[in-house]
Structure 1
Amino acid sequence: MCGRFTQAYTWSEVHAFLSVIGPAQNLRPRCNIAPTTMIDVIRPVAAGRELVPMRWGLVPSWWKKPLNELPSTFNARAETVAEKPMFRSAFKWRRCIIPASGFYEWTGKPGAKTPHYFSAPDGRPLALAGLWENWHDPDSGEDMQSATIVVGPANDWMARFHNRAPILIEPQNFDAWLAGHAGHDLASLLRPAREDDALREWIVSPRVNRSAVGDDDPALIEPT
């Protein structure tokens, strides 16, 4: 799974990596993002790729109950994403990329878990496979856009820390993931990272164990 991640890049970095269109934005670094908060999402539009804020935790368009009754939807399993009612429409029509500076996973026993941070070896942003939806809130009458991160089985290297991992989209596959039609072999893109050196890892402060703590504190991702 991926239950906590970071978006601590500049506009120049995410623009260069993902060819985002539009005027430069003052992006606030975030180092401890938790589900249900707002995140940066890259989605395709007619003119190219745009960066928009969305709720982390997908709300399908047909959802009629209060949000507090929604099950956990911040991750979608790669093995079932095409069939699950929560995700299948978004998988077919509304795929996105969620840029990330890195993500966290934990090892150890409950109550004494050690947080590990994972990022790209060259420090550039990661491109996480995502899905997005638009939901109309019947109570407020407002529309809300939301997204989820697609996760799959970990490769052998990552399995030392966790048996699941976010699906990483490689640059040569950005267009295929974002704009591929239903007939395209999208499942071929939802595979574990092929190389053991696709990520680097180090142990970080246990302060990150608490959500909403130090979200703007870059010291959270420093090696301990």
Structure 2
Amino acid sequence: MCGRFTQHLSWAEIRRLADLVGQPRNLAPRYNVAPTDAIEVLRAGPSGLELTPMRWGLIPYWWKKPLQELPSCFNARAETLSEKPMFRDAFKSRRCIVPASGFYEWTSEKGRKIPHYFSSADGLPLALAGLWEQWRDPNGQQLLSATIVVGAANPWMSRFHDRMPILLSWSDAEHWVSGDDPATLLRPAPDEALQEWTVSTRVNRSGVGDDDPTLIDRAEGEGLLPRLGA
């Protein structure tokens, strides 16, 4: 699935790729984003795409129980978006883009978990398909939340995991957010879309003390897998 990712992007970088409107602001770099953290999300606004902070982990608008009882909703399976009560309303009318610098996945080797970092092969930010919701707590306070859509892994990614985020081209961003037939975009990315390297096991932890640029440095010689065809 996708349980950890990075967002070390500037407003200008996102503006070059998307029809971003609103007042520019400084974006805090994040190298170890975990579920329930605040993330930056692109959603449709009256004049274009708005960049809005949201909780990572979708809360349906109709949720009445305590949040402690909410199932894990930081990922949504592409195959069942139109069926699952947790996601079907958001899939109809509240789709979004989660801009990301990269994401992490883990493999196992000799009883230990090895973290791998994935980013776009062309160096551009990734456009992860997402859904968002607006929920009000019992006191009437509004909370915006989002989830990342995941689907079956392509052959290249399947060496690491059987699932992967739905990666959109930036040219399809508007179609995903407000198009009439978004399901046509729910397909695995091409094999050549991503690059990968292993990183420090420090990323296995989450928290303020483990969120810095060195987390995505290459850990030379640890469990590296060649690209297909190499």
TM beyond 0.5: yes
> Which residue matches 2:217?
222
For 2:142 and 2:110, how far apart are their aligned partners in 1?
Answer: 38
Paired letter, 2:161: H
Paired letter, 1:29: P
> Which residue matches 2:222?
none
| TM-score of the two chains, using structure 1 as the length reference | 0.95
- Matching residue within 177, 198, 202 for 1:203: 198
Identity, % of aligned pairs?
63
Closer/same/farther in 2, CA of residues 219 and 106 from structure 1, 3 Å limit: same
Quick check: 1:156 aligned with 2:155?
A: yes
Map of 1:38-77 to 2, 5 A cutoff?
Answer: 38-77=38-77
Paired letter, 2:59: V
Q: Cα offset for 1:19?
A: 2.6
Paired letter, 1:143: Q
- Unaligned stretches of 5+ residues in structure 2: 220-230
Moved over 2 A (4+): 213-216
Q: Cα offset for 1:40?
A: 0.2
> Which residue matches 1:192?
188
Contact 2:202 2:210 in 1 (8 A): no
Q: Cα offset for 1:173?
A: 1.3
> Which residue matches 2:93?
93
Q: Cα offset for 1:169?
A: 1.0
| TM-score of the two chains, using structure 2 as the length reference | 0.92
For 1:155 and 1:213, how far apart are their aligned partners in 2?
Answer: 33
Paired letter, 1:189: L
Closer/same/farther in 2, CA of residues 213 and 162 from structure 1, 3 Å limit: farther
- Unaligned stretches of 5+ residues in structure 1: none
- Could you give the per-residue CA deviations for residues 159-179 of structure 1, whole angstroms, max 9, x where no partner exists? 000100000111221121111
How much is the aligned-residue C-alpha RMSD, in angstroms?
1.3
- Could you give the per-residue CA deviations for residues 53-81 of structure 1, whole angstroms, max 9, x where no partner exists? 00000000000001010000000000001
> Which residue matches 1:5?
5
- Could you give the per-residue CA deviations for residues 128-169 of structure 1, whole angstroms, max 9, x where no partner exists? 00000000101x320100000000000000000010000011
Contact 1:167 1:192 in 2 (8 A): yes
> Which residue matches 1:14?
14
> Which residue matches 1:133?
133
Paired letter, 1:198: A
Q: Secondary structure at the match of 1:108?
A: strand
